[in-house]
Structure 1
Amino acid sequence: MDKDEEQRRSAPIAGRDIPAPRLARVILTAALLSYLAITTLNILAAELSGPTLAVGLLSLAAIFLIQLRHSQAGANRAPLHRRCTTLGIQALLTYLPIVVFRAEWGAMAGFLAGSLLLLLPSRVAWVMFGAVGLSMLLPPALDGRSALDSVYLCQSTLLTGLVVYGLSRLADLVSVLHETRDQLTRMAVTKERLRFARDLHDLLGYSLSAITLKSELIHRLVPTHPQRAMEEVHDVLAISRQSLADVRMVASGLLSMSLADELASAQSLLDAAGLEVRADIRLGEMSQQVDTVLAAVLREAVTNLLRHSKASRCEISAVREDGRVRLSVANDGADPTYRDPSTHIGSGSGLGNLMMRLNVVSGELTTTRGPDGSFLLLAEAPAAPSRHPPDTEDDVVSSQKPAA
């Protein structure tokens, strides 16, 4: 098993280890409620009067609701004036009760410190975060407590702020990760649909054109040359069986083609169509990927020639020189206004498919139409492309919608 296959098989397992966005939000809320409960217990232990206790509990509830708002995904993208307003309210609810509750209210300063990191630009946020932590040195000193208590409250405030900030950001990242995974899944499905449509177009367009052409030839030969007609029938059956095998390969994703085989098939088909064919074939070693791509180019070129031209002569050249393979198909009957009645006008996507295929193997495709009605299709690619060629197919997927 190669490394890529191992990664593909392990990906679903890794995906199951990612917590759900709802669970991440529950963990964040539980942590905030825990800090809130600690402060509530501290206030209750102070044995304050009823009205003072009620004001403290209401202030705690208000801070909790504000903190939930600040910890929401995208809260830092709200208008600046709105962020400053809610932070100002939270600061008042944090510092004013300290006059009454002193050090017992200190945990709420951690919420404010975390909110500053969540809502403000980094440079300003970290400075204010430190200032909030240092401000918590005062409440224990005002109560006449030791310096150790002041350091403890300062440290716990900063730690609470980091916990609030970290859990809020983590919940956001979990949500983004799940959304990204869903998008990647949809893109993978779209990419597979495009691959299937592209391969089906490249394969069946050629095969159906060949079957149609040979069937017309058989119809003409039956009255006068029955033996030749029988030979053509055998060819049609062979093409049909090969088309069925090709469709199965496309469905399984195991498509591979041979340029040499396609050259021989193209010559036979063009001869049957009554075209004068000249071929210059000097092929050498090439990678299977390049072989398949250039075979698909040849199929599409011959299919377009039969469908969209009135050519009488065709020249095919396939040469390997200096580590590159060059395939050219030229004919003398290009007619931009001509369309075979068996095809839907404007329905073809062959050249786009071929350009995408050649880009994957670092190749190039050019077409030239001459004023005399000639047409030249030229494809060139390295015989052995780089191990990791540029993947332009992802760009095509992201810009197209899946077929209905």
Structure 2
Amino acid sequence: MEFWRRRRERLRERGPSGLSLLPWLLMGLGALSHLLGGEAPNPWIGGLGLLAFNTLYIAVVLRAFDPRARETPLTRWLLGGLAALTFGLAIGYGREWLLLFPLLGLAVGAVVRRGRMLFRVTFPLVAGAGAVTFWRDGWDSFGVVYGTFVSVMVTAAILALNDTVRQLRETREELARTAVEKERLRFSRDLHDLLGHTLSVVVVKSEAARRLAPHDLDAALAQVADIESVGRQALTEIREAVTGYREGSLAAELDRARDALSSAGVEPVVRRSGPLLEPAAEALFGWVVRESVTNAVRHSGASRCVVEISGTDGRARLTVTDDGRGGGHGPGAAAPVADGPGSGLRGLRERLAAAGGTLEAGPVPGGGFRVVAELPVEPAAPGTDAGDAQPDRC
């Protein structure tokens, strides 16, 4: 039972095939009966014509369900040959042979499924079928004309709808894959930025506690308390990053940067001016501050680090500069931070580029390392704390 259920699901997802139109060939049994009854003139010509009609019909409908084959000139030529043969047999034999017109309508609807071309083909076909059937069978053949029109339009509508459903399903699957890839990239960036900064602070404070313990136990315990606080804050941020609701606070990030730099023996200087920033811009700048300060603490050997935030009504600028060894570029410098895909400075560039911004990083002539981030921004709503407009030294 499970096998047949899965098979039905696969067939439903795949949609109809050319085999679904083949049983309609039974409508040609009337023409075959007319031949076998000895009533048709030139039965050999009629038999070959009926065989050719069935062959062309099968070829056309099978090619109509292959997207690549349906658009080729060969399929159009086969359809044109089927139409010419249908009109020839209907004109020559009439009666039961007129039922070949609805079969031609099925083939036309399967090949020409939508657009202006469908109407350009359908109305001449129906008009021609009406003229032939009225000439051969009078008003009694109105049902054949109506059946031809319905065959074209219903077949085209059903198959066009099936194509649309299939395309929507493929689009949905592609969007789902894209969403998963973006979420993986977001998580890898957040995890790198969160853990890289937090572990750097823990290492610095642990070293400070080890140095202070023999001489000043109270100060060492204060550093241990800070480590506990940093760990708890990191747990909270990781939970928020996992759930996708983390929004960085630039003010909080600047406070953590001051603390991390001071614990590492680096003098922090923060200058902030210009208009208030919207939350999205503050969150992005918060990531830049976190990564830049982490690199300064771990690799630069700097004695001073300056964080400057400025801008106009249309663009904001963040600059982080240290006076260390050029981010690992100078002689004897520590190895620079990894800049692989989804982490470090490359991850920051991707974040800012997605928001229309830029990020540049490199050594400063004369020594040191500088990170410059710019973002197009709109002023934040009044009432938001823009921070200190004057230098803030700790």
| TM-score range for the pair, normalised by the shorter chain length | 0.7 to 0.9
Residue 378 in 1 paired to residue 353 in 2? no
For residues 122-164 of structure 1, the C-alpha deviation after alignment (integer angstroms, 9 at most, x for no partner) is 7777544444333313432442x32x45665445323322223
Match of 1:273 in 2: 264
| Alignment match of 1:68 (pick from 61, 64, 67) | 61
Q: 1:171 to 1:306 in 2, by over 3 A?
A: same
Q: Whole-Å Cα distance in 2 between the matches of residues 36 and 24 of structure 1?
A: 26
Q: 1:201 to 1:124 in 2, by over 3 A?
A: same
Query: Which letter maps to 1:357?
Result: R
Residue 157 in 1 paired to residue 148 in 2? yes
Q: 1:205 to 1:275 in 2, by over 3 A?
A: same
Larger Rg: 2
Q: Whole-Å Cα distance in 1 between the matches of residues 301 and 221 of structure 2?
A: 27
Percent identity of paired positions between Structure 1 and Structure 2: 31
Question: Tell me, which stretches of 5 or more residues in structure 1 are unaligned?
Answer: 1-18, 387-404
Contact 2:185 2:342 in 1 (8 A): no
Query: Which letter maps to 1:330?
Result: T
Q: Whole-Å Cα distance in 2 between the matches of residues 221 and 228 of structure 1?
A: 7
Match of 1:262 in 2: 253
| Alignment match of 2:129 (pick from 126, 131, 136) | 136
CA shift at 1:325, angstroms?
4.6
- CA-based RMSD of the aligned residues comes to 3.8
Q: Whole-Å Cα distance in 1 between the matches of residues 342 and 113 of structure 2?
A: 52
> Which TM-score applies when normalising by structure 1?
0.74
Match of 2:182 in 1: 191
Q: 1:159 to 1:70 in 2, by over 3 A?
A: farther
Give the 5 Å matches for 1:76-87: 79-80=72-73, 82-87=74-79
Match of 2:97 in 1: 102
> Which TM-score applies when normalising by structure 2?
0.76
Match of 1:181 in 2: 172
CA shift at 1:361, angstroms?
4.7
Contact 1:28 1:171 in 2 (8 A): no
Contact 1:24 1:171 in 2 (8 A): no
| Alignment match of 1:351 (pick from 341, 345, 350) | 345
CA shift at 1:377, angstroms?
1.9
CA shift at 1:218, angstroms?
2.6
Contact 1:276 1:312 in 2 (8 A): yes
SS at structure 2 position matched to 1:367? strand
Q: 1:242 to 1:116 in 2, by over 3 A?
A: closer
For residues 209-234 of structure 1, the C-alpha deviation after alignment (integer angstroms, 9 at most, x for no partner) is 11122222333333344332222111
SS at structure 2 position matched to 1:137? helix
Q: 1:343 to 1:375 in 2, by over 3 A?
A: closer
Give the 5 Å matches for 1:5-404: 22-23=11-12, 32=21, 35-37=24-26, 39-40=27-28, 42-43=30-31, 46=34, 48-49=36-37, 61-75=54-68, 79-80=72-73, 82-91=74-83, 94-98=86-90, 99-100=92-93, 101-114=96-109, 117-118=112-113, 127-143=120-136, 145-146=137-138, 148-149=139-140, 153-282=144-273, 285-319=276-310, 322=313, 325-333=316-324, 334-337=326-329, 340=334, 346=340, 349-359=343-353, 361-367=355-361, 369-381=363-375, 382=377, 384=379
Q: How many residues align?
A: 362
Q: 1:359 to 1:342 in 2, by over 3 A?
A: closer
